[in-house]
Amino acid sequence: MKKTILLYGTILALLVFLLKVIQYRYLIRDLSIEFYIGLVAAFFTGLGIWMGLKLTNQRKKSGLKAMTLNQPQQFDISKREFEVLQLIGQGLSNQEIADKLFVSLNTVKTHTSNLFTKLDAKRRTQAIQRAKDLGLLG
Partner DNA sequence: ATTCAAATCATCCTTTCGGGTGACGAGAAA
Partner DNA sequence: TTTCTCGTCACCCGAAAGGATGATTTGAAT
Which residues are near DNA by CB under 7 A?
76, 78-81, 93-95, 101, 103-107, 109-113, 116-117, 122-125
CB of 121 to its own copies, least distance (A): 7
Judged by CB under 8 A, the residue of 10, 21, 22, 60 near its own copies is: 60
Task: Tell me the window of 68-76, 78-86, 102-110, 119-127 that interacts with its own copies (CB under 8 A).
Answer: 119-127
Judged by CB under 8 A, the residue of 4, 28, 46, 65 near its own copies is: 46
Which among 43, 36, 38, 14 has a CA at the least distance from the CA of 51? Answer: 43
Q: Cα angle vertex 32, ends 31, 37, to 5°?
A: 160
Burial of 58 (0-12, 13-18, 19+ CB in 10 A): exposed
Between 57 and 73, CB nearer to its own copies? 57
Between 2 and 79, CB nearer to DNA? 79
Q: Who contacts 135 (Cβ-Cβ below 8 Å, separation ≥6)?
A: 66, 67, 69, 70
- The runs of H, that is alpha helices, within the chain are 2-26, 33-67, 79-89, 94-101, 105-119, 124-133
- Interface with its own copies (CB under 8 A): 12, 15-16, 19-20, 23, 29, 33-34, 36-38, 40-53, 55-57, 60, 88-93, 121-130
